[in-house]
Amino acid sequence: MNEDDLKRYTVQVASGSGCFFQPLSDSHTYILTSRHLFCDQQQVDGITNFIERVDGQIVVIKYYVLDGNQWQTREFQLTVTRGENYFTHANPQVDAAILKIDHIENCDQIIIYNDHQTPTGFRLCGHPSNRRNQGDPYTTYLIQGSIASTNFGQTVQLALGNVTQDHIEGMSGGGILKPDRSAILIAGIQSKMLSVILPAGQVAFVPIKYYAEVVESSDSRLEKLLPLYLKSFKYIKEEIFKLSYGVEEQEIAEQLTVLLKGQATRIIESDITPLEIRKYLEERLMLILPKQSNTELEKKKIWVAWLELMTILNIAYSQNHTLEDLPSLLKKIRLFYSDTEHDFFYAHLDDLDKLDYTGLEKGGVVVVASNVIAKGKKHILRPDRIPRIDSLRKQHTLEGLAIDNATEYPLDKFKFMNISAFKEGCIVDTHEEYQKLEVKEYLGNLKKQYEQLFG
Q: Are residues 49 and 17 part of one domain?
A: yes
DSSP H stretches of helix in 247-374 = 250-268, 274-281, 300-317, 326-329, 344-348
Contact between 10 and 83 (Cβ < 8 Å): no
Confidence grade of residue 403 (pLDDT, cut at 50, 70, 90): very low
Paired strand residues for 145: 157
Predicted confidence (pLDDT) per residue in 346-385, tens digit: 999 998 988 888 889 999 999 999 999 988 766 999 988 8
- Give the C-alpha separation, 174 to 12, whole Å: 8
Q: What is the pLDDT of residues 219-238, one digit of tens each?
A: 999 999 999 999 999 999 99
Examine the domain organization and report whether 220 and 296 are in the same domain: no
Q: Which domain holds residue 59?
A: 3-226
User: For residue 124, how many other CB atoms are within 10 A of its CB?
Assistant: 25
Among the three residues 191, 207, 226, which one is the final residue of a domain in this structure? Answer: 226
Cα–Cα distance list, 91 to 80, 120, 166, 206, 217 (Å): 20, 28, 29, 13, 11
- Does residue 83 surpass a pLDDT of 70? yes
Is it the case that residue 321 has pLDDT exceeding 80?
yes
Q: How far is CA 75 from CA 13, 59, 173, in A?
A: 10, 11, 18
214 and 88 part of one domain: yes
**Residue 47: CB partners within 8 Å, gap ≥ 6?**
none
Q: Give me the number of domains the chain comprises.
A: 2
Instruction: State the pLDDT at residue 404.
Output: 38
Contacts 24+ apart (CB under 8 A), 308-313: 308/240, 308/241, 308/260, 308/264, 308/419, 308/422, 308/423, 309/333, 309/335, 309/367, 309/419, 310/264, 310/267, 310/272, 311/240, 311/260, 311/263, 311/264, 311/266, 311/267, 312/422, 312/450
Distance CA 214, CA 300 (A): 25
From 207, 226, 245, the end of a domain falls on 226
Are 208 and 325 within one domain? Answer: no
Task: Output the CA angle 312-317-320, nearest 5 degrees.
Answer: 75
Shared-domain flag, residues 395 and 267: yes
Q: What is the mean pLDDT of residues 282-300?
A: 69
Predicted confidence at residue 384, as pLDDT, reads 87
139-146: average pLDDT: 94
217 and 265 in a single domain? The answer is: no
> At 6, phi and psi to the nearest 5?
-65, -25
Of 198, 226, 254, the position where a domain reaches its end is 226
CATH number at residue 23: 2.40.10.120
Q: Residues 243, 172: one domain?
A: no
- Same domain for 34 and 104, yes or no, is yes
Q: Which of 360, 361, 250, 370 is nearest to 305 (CA)?
A: 370
Q: How confident is the model at residue 288 (pLDDT cuts 50, 70, 90)?
A: low
Q: What are phi and psi of 61, to 5 degrees?
A: -110, 125
CB distance 310 to 266 below 8 Å? no
Each residue of 160-172: pLDDT tens digit? 888 888 888 999 9
- Stretch among 99-103, 123-127, 397-401 having the lowest mean pLDDT: 397-401
Q: Is the pTM of this model over 0.85?
A: yes
Q: Given this model, what pLDDT does residue 41 score?
A: 75
Q: Could you tell me if 218 and 250 lie in one domain?
A: no
Judged against a pLDDT cut of 70, whether residue 282 lies above it is answered with: no
Task: Calculate helix-pair angle for 274-281, 300-317, nearest 10 degrees.
Answer: 90
Q: What mean pLDDT comes out for the span 250-277?
A: 96
Tell me, yes or no, whether 131 and 252 share the same domain: no
Q: What is the mean pLDDT of the chain?
A: 90
pLDDT at 136: 85
Q: How many CB atoms neighbour CB 198 within 10 A?
A: 11
For 432, the enclosing helix (H) or strand (E) is helix 431-435
Strands in 45-96 per DSSP E: 47-52, 57-67, 70-80, 86-88
Contact by Cβ (8 Å): 101, 80: no
**Which of the four pLDDT bands, split at 50, 70 and 90, describes residue 315?**
very high
Q: What is the pLDDT of residue 64?
A: 94
Q: Are 51 and 71 in contact (CB under 8 A)?
A: no
Q: Answer yes or no: is pLDDT of 335 > 90.
A: yes
Least confident range of 6-10, 207-211, 272-276, 284-288: 284-288
Percent of the chain with pLDDT over 70: 92
Q: How confident is the model at residue 189 (pLDDT cuts 50, 70, 90)?
A: very high
Residue 10 sits in the same domain as residue 138: yes
Task: Supply the pLDDT for residue 348.
Answer: 92
Check residue 45 and give left, alpha or beta (phi > 0: left; psi -120 to 50: alpha): left
Instruction: Express each pLDDT in 13-67 by its tens digit.
Output: 999 999 999 999 999 999 999 999 998 877 666 666 778 888 899 999 999 999 8
Is residue 105's pLDDT more than 60?
Answer: yes
Confidence band (pLDDT; 50, 70, 90) for 193?
confident
Instruction: Give yes or no for residue 195 having a pLDDT over 80.
Output: no
Are 393 and 416 found together in one domain?
A: yes
pLDDT (tens digit, 9 = 90+) per residue, 88-104? Answer: 999 988 999 999 999 99
Q: Above 70 in pLDDT, residue 286? A: no
